[in-house]
Every structure is written in C-alpha cells, then in structure tokens.
Structure 1
Amino acid sequence: MVDALPVIVIGAGPQGLAAAAHLTERAMPVLVLEAGATPAAAVSEWGYVRLFSDWSELIDTASARLLEPTGWRAPSARYPTGAQWVEKYLAPLAAALGERVVYNARVTGVSRRGRDRLVDAGRGDQPFTVHVQPDDGEPYRVQARAVIDASGTWSTPNPAGADGLPAMGERETADLLSYRIPDSRDRAGFEGTHTVVIGSGHSAVTAVLALARMARRDPSTTVTWALRRATAGNTFGGGDADELPARGALGIKAKEAVDAGLVSLLTGFRVERIARESDRPVLIAEDGRTLIADRAVVLTGFRPDLSFLSELRLELDPTLQAPVRVAAEVDPNVHSCGSVAATGAADLAQPEPDFYLVGAKSYGRAPTFLALTGYEQVRSVAAELAGDREAARRVELRLPDTGVCGGAGLFDASGASLGGACCAPTPQVLQIGRAPAAV
C-alpha cells in the first residue's frame, strides 16, 4: 500500500533534516538519503565561513523539540561558522534521527513505478521509485509515497562565463579557478598574490572581505573585484536598513574596503574567455579588457541540478528554474523592497503529486535564500503530507527585509536608472572614493 511507504527526503542538509524532524513528529515514516559521508556535508565544505544569521534563525522548531530529550540545548545568540552550525546543531539532529538518515547514498533518478513521464494512466496511484548509487556497492531502488528534494544547489556552481555557459577555455583552466569562498586561514595561498573575485552576491562579498583583510596586513596582496553589471548598483546591500544586521554589515565593510583602496572594483566585466599564462589564469572580457591573476575565485551563484528529475512532471519558471509560484516572489530582476513572502506546500506543489522542491533548490537560480525560509517550507509540506490542510496553509514566518528596494536594476545602466521601487526613491549610483576605513 502506497501510504505505508516512507517519505524520501533527498539531502541531509539543514532543510532535509528539518523535514525529517517534522515528519517524525507527525509519526510518518521517513528516509533521508545523503550523498555525502556526514550530515550537512555541503555545509562542512564551507565550514570556515561565518553566517550572517544568528542561532535563533538557524534552528528549526520541530528539530529543537526532537533534540531536547537528548539533553541538547540551543547555543547562545551569536553568529556561528558553518562548522559550528554542523557541530552544535546539525550533527546532533542527524544523530537523533538515527537510522532514518543514510549516508553515501547519491540519488541518481526519481520516477513513478512503471511509469515514465509520458504515461498518464494510473500515474498518481503508483509509488515513487528513487534510484540510489552508494559510494561502494550496487545501485538500488527505494519506493516512496512522497519525495522531498532538499538537495540544494551547492554541487552546481555557475560558471565564470557571462552568458551562463563556461567561458571559452574555462574547462581547460579549471585547475586555476576556485568556485568556493577562500579560506581566510590560508594566508600563504593568497598573501602577496593578485586575486580576482568574479561575482556580486553575498558569497562574493564575503570573499572580498577575507581578501581585503589579507591586503591590509600585506600591501603586496592585491584584490580585484569584477562585476558583470555596468554599475555597483545594490552590490553593497541594504546596510543599516537590513533587518539581519550581520548581513547589512557585509555590504558596509565591502564598500569601506573599496573606498580604502584595498580592493579594486571593476564594473561591466563580463568574462568571455580564460587563458593560461604559465600557472596563472588570464581573464578576458567581452570588451577586450584583460585581467592576469595569480588566483581567480568564481562566485557567480548556483543553479539547481535537475538532471535526476527528468522523468517527473515539473512546472518550473523558465527564468529561475524554480517552482513558478515561488519564482514570482524571488526573481531578482523584478523583486522589490528586499522582502519576500514565506512559501509553503501550495506554492511548492508540482504537477507530479506529492513531489516537492524545498530549501535553496526551490529558489532555483535566485540568490536570496535563508534557512528560515526552508524551515517554514518543510513545516508546511510535512503538514500537507500528513493531511493537516489547515496547518499547511498557515503562515508562521515573516522574513526579514534586506533593506534594498527595487530590482537588480537595468543590466547595462550606467546612470541612476536602476529600476523602480515601491517603498523608497530610486536608488542612486554609488560613488566609489578612497577614504580610509577599517576592515
């Protein structure tokens, strides 16, 4: 009987584990399949990075209730690193879930039993079949009554190429490029060198700040920050208006680093080709400008891996590759006022019944995801799967404003026309000076 089968959750990251906690609290069988060898394996890869959310924004309520009988207590309200998030919360949560979490289990496909995506007849009556490839051993299949994909986007970073495809020569020079935030402890690898950071989101800002601190200690360290857009626009975020103070502080400090001359800011730099000069990457823009670097850090965002979902019927926004009702809230081209509505099961539902994309993957290519968003999503989805429609429809979250109004702005704008705003005057172009500032 299909209803007796478990709900399969793909990914043992923050949202996947939270989904399992909510399902467990509702006495529903659940199995979490994690490709890595440990809980929150992706978070562990950037464990040295400090989050801009404090502990109160990083802990799911049902997960806390599951942990409390074990003697666990929520850490104090500080801003943890990724490693601390894993050690003090995510790993204990996975341990509390016990055998419900299976590691080294990479999902390679999801479909309906005996039905490819073309077949209508009896489709909704059939269980899902989830194909799994363990690290060692033969592949196997697991049947499920529902599937929650919380696999995130960490494994599929965007390329340096400005057209969304790898730049010419990017694959051939991949050994000279990094798609991860630099570890600030790796001073020997960056001090005394020229590093180019490509990107404009929070990851790029975090990388720029880490490198700026090295440049302050060692003046022979140079940092170039390359933006694709014609102006700095909203790159520096909402500052003091951001309702997450640590997130707002990132942008303030980044602007200070640029003003202090610790970081050289280039706008309109759209990488077309990457060449190799000895062991150094050479970045060539569409307009012919050239940057020769010792290190190149590509932080241009992430995209969802949809390859293993090819036999499911999905309705995704053509721009963001996110569920269409979620995309309307988070599209950075048009999104206004720096705030979005919380999304639940109704927003995440797909033409394939009982299949849900949650967490960062539910935002597709949009860069604005917060842990709180995912916790509200999985709470609602678990309620829906349990038949508690009232709880599924209820909204239990108000997301914090970024302090940035207007959309991402006109891509090629060179003046102050950066897009309208519903709640404030049109943002003005930031003028970059050279006043001294601390980093």
Structure 2
Amino acid sequence: MNASTEALPVVVIGAGPIGLAAAARLIERDIEPLVLESGPVAGSAVREWAHVRLFSTWSEVVDPSAEKLLAPTGWARPDGAAYPNGGDWATLYLQPLADALGDRVRYGARVTGVSRAGRDRVVDSGREAQPFTVHLLGADGREERITARAVIDASGTWTTPNPLGGDGLRALGERTAADRISYRVPDLTDPAVRARYAGRRTAVVGTGASAFTALALLAGLAEDVPATHATWILRRGIGGDTFGGGAADQLPARGALGRRAQAAVEAGHATAATGFRTAAVERDGGRLILVGEDGRRLDPVDEVIVLTGFRPDLTFVSELRLALDERLQAPVGLAPLIDPNVHSCGTAYPHGANELSHPERDVYLVGMKSYGRAPTFLALTGYEQVRSVAAALAGDREAAERVELVLPETGVCGGAGLFDQPDPAEDLAGGCCAAPAPATLRIGVGADDRTAGNTGAPAPARGGR
C-alpha cells in the first residue's frame, strides 16, 4: 500500500457498539476512521430493542478506549453494577460516543457495495496496491463512492433474522403470512403491540433467551388478559440444558432468565410442541396453522413470533475475497473457536486480527457479523476484536496478537450471547444437543415473571445488532 493510500480513512460500517469502539481504537492509534451508519442516529438497531435488557452490566458494555474518548466531554459511566436495556445503552453511551466522534460519523449512509478500486474479485493484478471503494446510498437517495485504506464491517446481523422454516429457508406460506409473523421480542409496554397479543393465541418459535423472554412476557399478559395463550415450539426436546446454566452461569442475569423460564414450564400455563420443525404456514380463516416436516399440524394461532437467531448479510461484500466457514459463515480462522458442533455450545475464546483475517488484506468482519450464524457473542469479545484489528492496521503486530481479555465461562450448553441469539446447535446433529422425539406438555409463568425482559433487575435478556 502506497503513502497516498495510507492517508485515506478506515471505513467502519455501522455505528453500533462495536463499530463505534472500532473508531475509538483507531483514533487511539492515530488512524482516521469514517463511520457509516444507515440509520438516522447512533445505535439505530439497538434502539429497535430498547425495551430488552442486556445480560451484562454497564461495566462490561463500555469499551475502555471509548470511555477515554468520552472523558473530556464530562461523560460519566452509569452505575457499573446496573443492567442497562437497549434504550439506555443507545442514549446514555452510544449516542454520546458518536457525538464525541463528531463528523467522523455519517448517518443515513447505507453501504451497498465494497470492492478494490478498479478490481472485481477475479482480478489479481495490482490488487493489494489498490484502495477500497465503498459504494453507499445517502438518505436523499443519492449514490456516492468513498475511497478507504481498509474496511471494518461492524454492520451486525439484526436486519437478517433467520426464517421460520426448519430447513433454514422460509416456510411455505411464511411470506404471505408476514402480517401475522414477527421476528422480534414484543414490547408489551407499547399499547398497539400489547393489543396485538392480548387475548390471543401466539406461537413462539425458538429456544434461546429471546424465546424465554417472549414466553414470560406473554404469560405475564395472560395474568391480566386470561384468554392470552402461548404455544412454545422447539426444534429439539426439553432436557437438562434447555434452560441454560442457571446458578453456574457466570453471567448472572442470563442464568436468572433460564431459572425463570424453567419455573414457567413447571407452573403450567401454555402449550409446548417439541421436536417440531416448521415446513409450512397455512391460513385457517383469520388464523394460522403451522405444519411440521413430519406432517403434524398444530392448533391454529393468531400470531407467530419467530426467535430462531440471525445470519449475516454478505451481499454488499460479495466482490471481496473473504474466507468464510461453509457452515457458520464466520471467518475460517474464527469458526473452530465458536463452532457449536465441536465446543460445548456456549464456549467462545478471545481472538483478534489473526482469526478475523481474510485473503483480502485489510478487510475485517467484526462484532456479531464475524460470528456468522454462531451464538454467544459478547460485547467484551467485540471490543477485544477491534482492539486487535486497530493494532494490526497500525502495524503493531505484537499488540494485535496479544490477548487482553478473559471471558467468563458460560456454564451453559446452548446459551445465548450479547445479541440474544438462540443456540444454532438445536438444528445441528451431534455435539451436546441431540434430536428429540416429538412431545407435548404444558408450560407457564406466575405473576412474578410478567416483567421478564422488560423491567426489573437483574434483567434477563440481551439483544441488539
């Protein structure tokens, strides 16, 4: 890379927690960042789950370099032992951090493509000498190209939730039933959302913390509106690991959520269908019937909430030479460290630029996007990623290869991470999650659990982009 290219900014895609931390780390290394955020404010995706609390405390979700950048502004970190929700995280930390970065953050800038200038992915000649060209669409609809020395993609996975279909594709009829299907934990403090589910039958699909939270919220709603009923749909069975690590989980709020979910099952308040993989959605008048791959047809429901995790959007980086694991869609160097087929479904190891590297030099997928379809991502993991990446871009290989993070053991086989994804191992053979026989049972929660995932402390769930 020549001197003129080195003078270009590093483009960071996404003004979420990891993207903004990347910018702070780059500034610390005297490298100029340019953060491109598709939304109108910092943490736009985080704000979409403002009502959901994180599993981590404030002390675990503030990047150290970001805090240094904020210090001259008079910013003070909230109580380190408290659990913020998404709204708190966005307004009390992410937006002040973006404001401190000033015009290094551009809003309403949706990246539509990234490539080497004058080189598609086929061309070898002079490739690494060329800067990157980043194509974007502004809020006014105008197209623009930006030239960059490197690209850090921290765009996350929030916009690409996994579909309802048990084969990883949309179930037959899922698209046409979109008006009755949601892929988010409902915010029942919103009157319109509350009215959508009150007094109705709702299917909740998934086995992660998001599903636990949704079930608890709906059960709490049933305490006020008795006709409210939930059907919990699991692709595997209910076993000792279904509800997480409990007291063994070193993320106490996550363990507490699992215990509340287990208490809900034992209390008996809704219907669960296990070993059920959805193949089709059929309309029955104004209601929906889910049809399984084994031919089973569940009782009609009014609404469906699909909480089966997320996947990365790789369309706008398709002209880059990325080395991605064929299963997880994570960088090949990272995939073995987070693969639920091999590990105990909840284990992740600190890693950095080496594991995140690709054949295309100076391109890094970080944050949730780096995990592809794997679960158990933590903010601390992302902050360590961008610390290492910034060091690598500055030419400090010793710092890039040094590990400066010790993650807590999850104490869980199949837990969810920062962004509250259910464990994909429920869909994978082997490992610690075996395929179940079909079954039906009763589940439910008591009145004390009605605020799970929304208010109270410690808060049960995490979410985000």
TM-score by length of 1: 0.93
SS of the residue aligned with 2:299?
strand
- Cα distance, 1:200 vs. partner? 1.2
**For the structure 1 residues 280 and 434, does the alpha-carbon distance in structure 2 shift closer, same or farther, using more than 3 Å as the test?**
closer
RMSD: 2.3
Structure 1 residues 42 and 434, CA, compared in 2 at 3 Å: closer, same or farther? closer
In 2, the alpha carbon distance for the partners of 1:106 and 1:410 equals 33
The alpha carbon displacement at 1:296 in A equals 0.6
Matched, 1:218 2:225: yes
In 2, the alpha carbon distance for the partners of 1:431 and 1:284 equals 15
CA distance in 2, matches of 1:247, 1:44: 21
Q: Does 1:238 align with 2:248?
A: no
1:279: how far off? Answer: 3.2
Partner Cα separation in structure 1 for residue 221 and residue 264 of structure 2: 11
Q: Does 1:199 align with 2:206?
A: yes
Cα contact 1:333–1:408 (8 A) shared by 2: no
Q: Quote the residue 1:290 is aligned against.
A: 298
Aligned with 2:220: secondary structure?
helix
Q: Does residue 1:268 correspond to 2:281, yes or no?
A: no
1:254 deviates by 0.8
1:305 lines up with 2:313 in the alignment: yes
Q: Counterpart amino acid of 2:311? A: R
Q: Of 363, 366, 378, which residue of structure 2 is paired with 1:370? A: 378
> Number of paired residues?
428
Instruction: Please say if 1:168 is aligned against 2:168.
Output: no
Paired residue for 2:334, among 310, 326, 330?
326
CA contact (8 A) 2:201 2:230 kept: yes
Tell me which residue corresponds to 1:315: 323
**Structure 1 residues 371 and 263: CA distance shift in structure 2, 3 A:** farther
Match of 2:183 in 1: 179
Cα offset, 1:230, TM superposition: 3.7
* CA 26–124 in structure 1, closer or farther in 2 if over 3 Å, else same: same
C-alpha separation in 2, matches of 1:171 and 1:163? 15
Pick 1 or 2: higher relative contact order, CA cutoff 8 A, min separation 6. Answer: 2
CA distance in 1, matches of 2:392, 2:165: 41
Tell me how far apart the structure 2 counterparts of residues 62 and 276 of structure 1 sit (CA, whole Å): 52
| Contact 2:309 2:424 survives alignment (8 Å) | no
Residues 410 and 211 of structure 1, relative CA distance in 2, 3 Å threshold: closer
Match of 1:381 among 384, 389, 410: 389
1:351 Cα deviation from its structure 2 partner: 0.4
Say whether 1:68 aligns with 2:71: yes
2-structure distance, mates of 1:235, 1:386: 44
CA shift for structure 1 position 276? 2.0
Q: Give the % identical residues.
A: 59
SS at match of 1:124: coil
Instruction: State how 1:142-161 maps to structure 2 within 5 Å.
Output: 142-161=146-165
* Among 344, 356, 366, the residue aligned to 2:364: 356
Q: Which amino acid aligns with 2:229?
A: T
C-alpha change, 1:405 and 1:165, in structure 2 (3 Å) is closer
Q: Which residue in 2 is equivalent to 1:41?
A: 44
Residues 176, 279 of structure 1: 8 Å contact kept: no
CA contact (8 A) 1:408 1:419 kept: no
> d(CA) in 2 for partners of 1:377 and 1:141?
27
Q: Residue 236 of structure 2 is aligned with which of 229, 234, 248?
A: 229
Deviates more, 1:76-85 or 1:281-290: 281-290
Contact 2:244 2:413 in 1 (8 A): no
Report the AA paired with residue 225 of structure 1: W
> What aligned pairs does 1:39-188 form with structure 2 within 5 A after superposition?
39-76=42-79, 77-186=81-190, 187-188=194-195
Kept in 1, the 8 Å contact 2:289–2:297? The answer is no
Q: Offset at 1:390? A: 1.3
1:424 alignment counterpart: none
* Letter matched to residue 95 of structure 1: D
Once residues 201 and 443 of structure 2 are traced to their aligned partners in structure 1, the CA distance between those partners, rounded to angstroms, is 20
Checking the alignment, whether the CA contact within 8 Å between 1:339 and 1:399 is kept in structure 2 is no
TM-score normalised by length of structure 2: 0.88
Report the CA distance shift for 1:190/1:232 in structure 2 as closer, same or farther (over 3 A).
farther
- Helix, strand or coil at the partner of 1:356: strand
Moved more, 95-104 or 200-209: 200-209
Moved over 4 A (4+): 405-413, 430-438
Cα shift readout 1:30-78 (whole Å, capped 9, x = no counterpart) = 1000111110100001111111111011100000000011000100021
Q: Check whether the contact 2:161–2:310 (CA below 8 A) recurs between aligned residues.
A: yes
Q: 2:29 aligns with which of 26, 31, 35?
A: 26
Query: Structure 1 residues 119, 13: closer, same or farther in 2, change over 3 A?
Result: same
Listed one character per residue, the Cα deviations across residues 321-340 of structure 1 (whole Å, up to 9, x for unaligned) are: 00012111112222227332
- 1:281 matches 2:288: yes
